[in-house]
Structure 1
Amino acid sequence: MRHAAFALPALAAASLLAACSTESQLAQPAAAEAGASAAAPAPPAPPAPQQRVAVSGSRPRFATGDAFTYAPALAPPPYFMPPHVFKMPGVDKFPDSAANKAILVEEQPVSTFSTDVDTASYAFVRRQLTAGRMPPAAAVRVEEMVNYFPYDYARPSSRSQPFAVTTAVMPSPWKAENQLLHIAVRGFDVNAAQQPPMNVVLLVDVSGSMGPQDRLPLLKQGFRLFAESLRPQDRVAIVTYASGTKVALEPTGGGDRQKVLDAINALGAGGSTAGADGLQRAYAMAERHFDKDAVNRVILATDGDFNVGITDPRELEKFVAAKRKSGVYLSILGVGSGNLNDALMQRLAQSGNGNAAYIDSLLEARKALGEELGSTMFPIANDVKMQVEFNPAQVAAYRLIGYETRMLARQDFKDDKVDAGDMGAGHTVTAIYEITPAGAAGTLVDPLRYGEGKKPAAQAKSDELCFVRVRYKLPGESQSRLVEQPVRAGTAHKSLQAAPADQRFAVAVAAFGQRLRGEQQLADYAYADIAELANGARGADSEGYRAEFVNLVRMTEALGKAGQP
């Protein structure tokens, strides 16, 4: 599979949202012009180490809408500052969502969510752990960690039905009496000869904060890789923003590669971060050169110091969603750390039918802008939703692992007006449920006084554990299509080791994410157990991603032994 190249962790989110918060003030044009002539500010000091803290801990967290703000460690308790004090560089914001709990099938037999091919969380978590610090629990989105890795799931046979759905049932490694339901969706892969032209506008933050090596210089390396992949039929433009906006490169054909490279090489950081009309200008350029037969996309690259000129985040989402309807999608590349507003970045990427990626190294830039460019840039389906109906004759309870920020109401599944996830060519989506067998119902809740004698409605289909449905729209269509299939109890693997390697590795990653979040279900499943499970399921691992993961788990175990939180 070719993965969502856009794994955004620490990046552009912070400033992006700081500038879009309801309290933020838009820079005035005069001030922006004055800032343009000022000397570039010195690079900011590295952010203080971040750690997950309870309400009574040494670092408070403050609710801001649907996100939590994690302030850098400051002073030991007792200590208090009002929330507005923390609206400053160095504040990271993540979606606030409690982990999914087990749900009784007899009370709620249907689970519905939007699919997710972002891989942002894994890159952010990796950067934090390799720096020797534990990531905030809210920064860990288990589904994005699982979906970071390539899997060799079954392929669909044609683009007319662009998905193949495969399922596997296996014992849970962390709770012996439970099972895991693994659902894999793989999209149709489009070979290079069939890929449509690209009409891309790069919107690049060149403010002073982008000066450090892990920001604009790193992005420029990634952009050069992108330029090398351009074909004659592709077209790319570059818009920059700092104290103001500037067109650094008019739309240029891929055949004039040197001109594109010269424009990339000329990018430099300096000035304040005004850029009030940067996003609007980039969209306007993409729309002016819109090609109905091409992929039309704006790619925003920033460390988070981004002011789009819209002070209300909801209005910003509406703006991006409206542009999505015009056929221009938005993707986000983030760099740096300390200015992360991950909460807004996720919302914008979802609203813009795009991906959010975090670039923390040249290897990640290669992954995002090189080897996975095809799957990221070329959509094969929009508004992809998944719904699973569990059979109460077989399953007492279920728990969806991850996807907390993408849950949908049951009725949203058939409502084609409800926006959902998007998938590119060759993408895969993995979802994992922990299920409790029907015979174990008494271990979860006391029986109903007035429910005795009530027989499960699905008794006639007792060989089915559940029924899986995937709904999607082909690009350019407004009416959804449906893929569905049952999961039969008799197909369950008798042991975890009997399950395919891809499925076992995905389970290991899901276990790691849950442990990092501090979820109680994994309290007795050690990091050493996770590393052993993952190492035994590495398979071919041609790019070394799985080996890196095993080492990351072992590093986390070492951090714990060294006294890290």
Structure 2
Amino acid sequence: MHTTKLLTTAVTTTLFTTAFLTACSTPHQNTDANNQASSSNVITPSNSQLQAETKIASLDTIASAPRVLPKQMGSNSYHVMPPMPMPPSVQNHENYQDNKANPVHRTIEDAISTFSIDTDTGSYANVRRFLNDGQLPPTDAVRYEELINYFNYDFTNAMRKNNAPFKVSLETVKAPWKATNNIIKVAIKSTDEISDGASRTLPPSNLVFLVDVSGSMSSKDKLAMAKSSLKMLTKQLRKQDTISLITYAGNTEIVLPATQGNQQAKILAAIDRLNASGSTNGEAAIKLAYQQAKQNFKKDGINRILMLTDGDFNVGVSSTDEMLDIIKRNRDNGVSLSTFGFGTGNYNEHMMEQVADNGNGNYSYIDSVNEAKKALIDEMSATFNTVAKDVKVQVEFNPATISEWRLIGYENRILADEDFNNDKVDAGELGAGKSVVALFEVTPVGQKGYLNTSRYQATTSKPTTDMSNELGYLKIRYKAPQGSKSKLLEYPIVNSVNTPSNDLKFALAVAGYGQLLKGSKYTGSWTYNDVANYAKQGLSKDPLGTRHEFVKLVKLADALK
């Protein structure tokens, strides 16, 4: 983990420096000896950035947070509002986990990939925020799987086995950025579809709103946005739901004890009273939130803490590990914790993601009211209602047919191979109606890959009887939401290269976009224009307008490069 200092630029503004409270957290447990944040550079405007401003100005519509206007009478199209004017330049101190892309593996040396699913989407909205502010994101802010899984997919060839709460879809297609390589898609799709009436079909909910009201939350893109988000969610509540509201700054306070969801005027009034001041005592707040959730626990219902903050914990927690220990001790009691990130400047994304991952919840970044609507209303079932927990994926590649492979994304979700069968090892949760996609780039035996040929080791393996037509073998483990023992599903990956579905074309476009943003060495001659053209083939099903908006973001990234 390191602290990245960024400088948002505008063409006509004068640069100035602003002091911020710096988020305090120690490095992730897998990092090296340095327990202090590494020094980093301030990015100042370059000639290329100034040239980019001219290119941006030429775009018909600059992409923004998904400000999708309702369909007009007699129209079948959605409209995306232009962005707000670019704010004055400020110096930012934002915190991201080191995030280096997965390497290429030689199959005869390492044939197995094991990882947890990831349904977080925060990286996509956070990257969008940087682009809309006129600069490329820091590479550590780009997580491929969160970009891809921001979108919902409807894979028609999905298979359901043994009454699992999800279907599995497998596709093998040509890699769009390297003609001699293939892409193997592994997709998991919940059998419970997202619907407009999701709140009516959800189990009774016990929700604790845990809101950061410290001084760092005073800007309009933080507490004001958080309050708007909670108001939208409040209007979806029912009599069978229970809501509590806790605030934290230097001290913690129960602003609203457990209240029935149909008492919306009372809940909205409590939200309206929130104001920002003071420092941030995150540890005491989380402890109190879990206490409140346990007091109002709903058996067979949804019990979840919604933490709304910029992640700037500066009192009460001496280390990230201390914070996570509190969360781990509580997650097995049936109370999950989701984080919703707000704002810029001192944003601590590393903390936000770790808290949600260890709390068996979701991490979302809210850069607009419309993103809040997407996360809390449009995809309410996926955000709150878990249909499978501790979902793990393991793929074993056949060295007789695959010489090299790499997993695109999931870098901070990699598991040891032996952890796949260990039910004590935590993994990601799958929400109702949610789809999760993992993409592998593979090199068929006989084709030139990325790695040099080994001098002393055989380059091929004799195929095992009756398995020469397999590219690999997929295993998935999952638990029921209240279960403790995992169930196993198995699927052969057949050696058959097909034409990609439109959904897969779109997912590949998003993967290419992420790799270009990160400066990947694996995309060959692929350009942002290629990404946009590929994405346009998957725009037919786009009820929220997010896929069309993605194409605009690609053009914006191209202008800023």
Judge conservation of contact 1:274–1:307 (CA < 8 Å) in 2.
Answer: yes
The alignment-based identity, stated in percent, is 41
Question: Which residue is 1:48 aligned to?
Answer: none
Find out whether 1:482 has 2:488 as its counterpart. Answer: yes
Per-residue deviation at 1:206?
1.1
Per-residue deviation at 1:91?
1.9
Judge conservation of contact 1:471–1:483 (CA < 8 Å) in 2.
Answer: yes
**Partner SS state of residue 318, structure 1:** helix
Per-residue deviation at 1:556?
1.1
Partners of 2:201 and 2:286 lie apart in 1 by 30
Question: Which residue is 1:507 aligned to?
Answer: 508
Judge conservation of contact 1:95–1:405 (CA < 8 Å) in 2.
Answer: no
What is the CA deviation profile of residues 103-138 of structure 1, one whole-angstrom value per residue up to 9, with x for unaligned ones? Answer: 111111111111100011100100001111010011
Judge conservation of contact 1:304–1:340 (CA < 8 Å) in 2.
Answer: yes
Question: Which residue is 1:330 aligned to?
Answer: 337
**Partner SS state of residue 210, structure 2:** strand
Judge conservation of contact 1:70–1:91 (CA < 8 Å) in 2.
Answer: no
What is the CA deviation profile of residues 479-522 of structure 1, one whole-angstrom value per residue up to 9, with x for unaligned ones? Answer: 101111112113x11xxxx3111000000000010111111112
Question: Which residue is 2:427 aligned to?
Answer: 420
Partners of 1:210 and 1:442 lie apart in 2 by 49
What is the CA deviation profile of residues 19-74 of structure 1, one whole-angstrom value per residue up to 9, with x for unaligned ones? Answer: 4449xxxxxxxxxxxxxxxxxxxxxxxxxxxxxxxxxxxxxxx9965986755447
Question: Which residue is 1:205 aligned to?
Answer: 212
Shift in CA distance, 227/389, structure 1 to aligned 2, threshold 3 Å: same
Q: Which amino acid aligns with 1:392?
A: P
Partners of 1:113 and 1:217 lie apart in 2 by 37
Shift in CA distance, 537/207, structure 1 to aligned 2, threshold 3 Å: same
Find out whether 1:164 has 2:170 as its counterpart. Answer: no
Question: Which residue is 2:396 aligned to?
Answer: 389
Per-residue deviation at 1:90?
3.4
Find out whether 1:18 has 2:23 as its counterpart. Answer: yes
Q: Which amino acid aligns with 1:379?
A: T
Judge conservation of contact 1:397–1:441 (CA < 8 Å) in 2.
Answer: no
Question: Which residue is 2:150 aligned to?
Answer: 148
Question: Which residue is 1:456 aligned to?
Answer: 462
Counterparts of 1:374-453 in structure 2, within 5 Å, are 374-440=381-447, 444-449=451-456, 451=458
Per-residue deviation at 1:208?
2.2
Find out whether 1:471 has 2:474 as its counterpart. Answer: no
Judge conservation of contact 2:187–2:437 (CA < 8 Å) in 1.
Answer: yes
Find out whether 1:219 has 2:220 as its counterpart. Answer: no
Partners of 1:412 and 1:393 lie apart in 2 by 26
Partners of 2:44 and 2:416 lie apart in 1 by 41
What is the CA deviation profile of residues 245-291 of structure 1, one whole-angstrom value per residue up to 9, with x for unaligned ones? Answer: 11111110012111111111121222333455111111111112222
Question: Which residue is 2:73 aligned to?
Answer: none
Question: Which residue is 1:246 aligned to?
Answer: 253
Per-residue deviation at 1:160?
4.1
**Partner SS state of residue 259, structure 1:** helix
Counterparts of 1:73-152 in structure 2, within 5 Å, are 73=43, 90-152=92-154
Partners of 2:331 and 2:39 lie apart in 1 by 29
Partners of 1:170 and 1:90 lie apart in 2 by 42
Shift in CA distance, 443/321, structure 1 to aligned 2, threshold 3 Å: closer
Judge conservation of contact 1:69–1:94 (CA < 8 Å) in 2.
Answer: no
Judge conservation of contact 1:68–1:95 (CA < 8 Å) in 2.
Answer: no
Judge conservation of contact 1:103–1:398 (CA < 8 Å) in 2.
Answer: yes
Question: Which residue is 1:309 aligned to?
Answer: 316
Q: Which amino acid aligns with 2:101?
A: A
Per-residue deviation at 1:244?
1.4
Question: Which residue is 1:352 aligned to?
Answer: 359
Question: Which residue is 1:545 aligned to?
Answer: 546
Structure having the larger proportion of residues in helix = 1
Question: Which residue is 1:5 aligned to?
Answer: none
Question: Which residue is 1:34 aligned to?
Answer: none
Question: Which residue is 1:185 aligned to?
Answer: 188
Question: Which residue is 2:294 aligned to?
Answer: 287
Q: Which amino acid aligns with 2:551?
A: V
Higher relative contact order (CA 8 A, sep 6+): 1
Partners of 2:45 and 2:528 lie apart in 1 by 31
Judge conservation of contact 2:172–2:185 (CA < 8 Å) in 1.
Answer: yes
Q: Which amino acid aligns with 1:356?
A: Y
Shift in CA distance, 390/183, structure 1 to aligned 2, threshold 3 Å: same
Partners of 2:385 and 2:161 lie apart in 1 by 16
Question: Which residue is 1:45 aligned to?
Answer: none
Judge conservation of contact 2:340–2:363 (CA < 8 Å) in 1.
Answer: yes
Judge conservation of contact 2:310–2:348 (CA < 8 Å) in 1.
Answer: no
Find out whether 1:531 has 2:532 as its counterpart. Answer: yes
Per-residue deviation at 1:297?
1.1
Partners of 1:442 and 1:145 lie apart in 2 by 26
**Partner SS state of residue 433, structure 2:** coil
Judge conservation of contact 1:156–1:162 (CA < 8 Å) in 2.
Answer: no
Find out whether 1:176 has 2:182 as its counterpart. Answer: no
**Partner SS state of residue 522, structure 2:** helix
TM (normalized to structure 2)?
0.82
Shift in CA distance, 371/66, structure 1 to aligned 2, threshold 3 Å: farther
Which of 263, 266, 280 is 1:273 aligned to? 280
Q: Which amino acid aligns with 1:18?
A: A
Partners of 1:158 and 1:397 lie apart in 2 by 29
Judge conservation of contact 1:276–1:307 (CA < 8 Å) in 2.
Answer: no
**Partner SS state of residue 388, structure 2:** strand
**Partner SS state of residue 309, structure 1:** coil
Partners of 2:329 and 2:450 lie apart in 1 by 49
Partners of 1:531 and 1:328 lie apart in 2 by 41
Judge conservation of contact 2:474–2:492 (CA < 8 Å) in 1.
Answer: yes
Shift in CA distance, 262/463, structure 1 to aligned 2, threshold 3 Å: same
Judge conservation of contact 1:70–1:93 (CA < 8 Å) in 2.
Answer: no
TM (normalized to structure 1)?
0.82
Partners of 1:337 and 1:465 lie apart in 2 by 45
**Partner SS state of residue 92, structure 2:** coil
Judge conservation of contact 1:198–1:294 (CA < 8 Å) in 2.
Answer: yes
Judge conservation of contact 2:211–2:307 (CA < 8 Å) in 1.
Answer: yes
Partners of 1:450 and 1:213 lie apart in 2 by 60
Larger CA deviation: 289-298 vs 131-140 = 289-298
Judge conservation of contact 2:237–2:261 (CA < 8 Å) in 1.
Answer: yes
- Unaligned 5+ runs, structure 1: 1-14, 23-61, 77-88, 561-565
Shift in CA distance, 448/307, structure 1 to aligned 2, threshold 3 Å: same
Larger CA deviation: 194-203 vs 149-158 = 149-158
Shift in CA distance, 348/458, structure 1 to aligned 2, threshold 3 Å: farther
How many residues align? The count is: 490
Partners of 1:449 and 1:363 lie apart in 2 by 57
What is the CA deviation profile of residues 70-114 of structure 1, one whole-angstrom value per residue up to 9, with x for unaligned ones? Answer: 5544799xxxxxxxxxxxx93212121321121111111111111
Q: Which amino acid aligns with 2:549?
A: E
Cα RMSD after superposing both structures: 2.6
Partners of 1:330 and 1:308 lie apart in 2 by 20
Partners of 1:455 and 1:105 lie apart in 2 by 10
Partners of 2:534 and 2:108 lie apart in 1 by 33
**Partner SS state of residue 91, structure 1:** strand
Per-residue deviation at 1:313?
1.4
Partners of 2:268 and 2:302 lie apart in 1 by 21
**Partner SS state of residue 522, structure 1:** coil
